[in-house]
């Protein structure tokens, strides 16, 4: 269960633009988000979202977060994201994705999307993602890394140089493939790494792995890491989530 007070602590000064063509979902979600954000603007299509985004940029500054559906009239979420990134490459965009929209996901990854929320929306999951984003904006990702060490909890850490995973100072055994997998995911923290990208990395090192074996690798590695440290994004890929204090 998300801690509402903690979420509000990080989001109360942030602004959010929400694009969703389903009226009931848009209204209900907007009402929830207004409890936490300084400002929430909601629109019914991508074209309206882009216009509002440009207006906001002209008046003050860009929205802190853009939350968008994929399939919308006039302009879909992929094109909206592309146009927003043309204006502001550093914009944080979260995409709502139904199970039957997997063909849209790779183009969005290529654009640089880091966060996907599955539909129908699990509001606890949505708020959890928004908390993570808000914390990241409050504290840069570089601050989470001391030298080559990445913290997964107050006691858990991984050193990218020595390839050692520690829990309370005790070394946890990692297989060769688990180390290579962590090498890929820790090169750019917070980024989603697709199966294709992971396979390419292994191939460059003359190692063989396929998507099915990646899933098995992830399952075994999760047992060695703190909960939620290794995230799977359905139909997209995997991401390492560092620890935020």
Looking at domain 4-138, does it have CATH number 3.80.30.20? Answer: no
Asked if 178 contacts 221 with a C-beta cutoff of 8 angstroms, the reply is yes
pLDDT for residue 141: 45
Highest mean pLDDT among 27-41, 120-134, 179-193, 227-241: 27-41
β-pair partners for 194? 237
In the predicted structure, residue 167 carries a pLDDT above the cut 70? yes
β-pair partners for 193? 238
In the predicted structure, residue 144 carries a pLDDT above the cut 70? no
In the predicted structure, residue 37 carries a pLDDT above the cut 90? yes
In the predicted structure, residue 59 carries a pLDDT above the cut 70? yes
Asked if 162 contacts 188 with a C-beta cutoff of 8 angstroms, the reply is no
Cβ of 27: how many Cβ atoms within 10 Å? 11
Report the pLDDT averaged over residues 76-96. Answer: 88
Report the pLDDT averaged over residues 179-204. Answer: 86
- For the sheet with 39-43, list strands across it: 39-43, 15-19, 65-69, 92-97, 115-118
pLDDT band with cut points at 50, 70 and 90 for residue 102: low
Examine domains 4-138 and 141-240 and report if their fold is the same: no
Cβ of 198: how many Cβ atoms within 10 Å? 22
Highest mean pLDDT among 9-23, 81-95, 101-115: 9-23
Comparing 87 with 99, the larger pLDDT belongs to 87
The CATH code that applies to domain 141-240 is 1.10.10.10
- Domain definitions of the chain by residue range: 4-138, 141-240
β-pair partners for 67? 18, 94
Distances (CA, A) of 218 to 141, 231, 238: 23, 9, 9
């Amino acid at each position: 269960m998300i801690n509402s007070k903690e979420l509000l602590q990080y989001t109360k000064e942030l602004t959010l633009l929400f694009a969703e063509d389903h009226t009931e979902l848009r209204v209900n979600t907007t009402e929830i988000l207004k409890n936490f954000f300084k400002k929430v603007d909601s629109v019914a299509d991508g074209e309206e979202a882009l216009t509002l985004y440009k207006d906001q940029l002209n008046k003050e500054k860009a929205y802190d977060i853009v939350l968008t559906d994929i399939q919308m009239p006039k302009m879909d979420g992929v094109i909206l994201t592309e146009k927003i990134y043309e204006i502001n490459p550093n914009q944080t965009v979260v995409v709502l994705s139904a199970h039957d929209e997997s063909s849209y996901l790779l183009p969005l990854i290529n654009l640089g999307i880091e966060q996907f929320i599955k539909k129908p929306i699990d509001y606890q999951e949505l708020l959890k993602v928004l908390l993570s984003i808000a914390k990241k904006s409050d504290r840069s990702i570089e601050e989470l890394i001391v030298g080559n060490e990445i913290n997964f909890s107050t006691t858990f850490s991984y050193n990218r140089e020595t390839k050692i995973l520690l829990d309370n100072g005790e070394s946890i055994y990692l297989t060769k493939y688990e180390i290579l997998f962590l090498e890929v995911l820790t090169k750019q923290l917070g980024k989603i790494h697709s199966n294709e990208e992971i396979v390419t990395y292994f191939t460059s090192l003359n190692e063989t792995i396929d998507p099915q074996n990646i899933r098995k690798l992830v399952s075994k590695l999760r047992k060695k890491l703190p909960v939620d440290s290794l995230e799977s994004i359905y139909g997209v890929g995997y991401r390492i989530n560092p620890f935020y204090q």
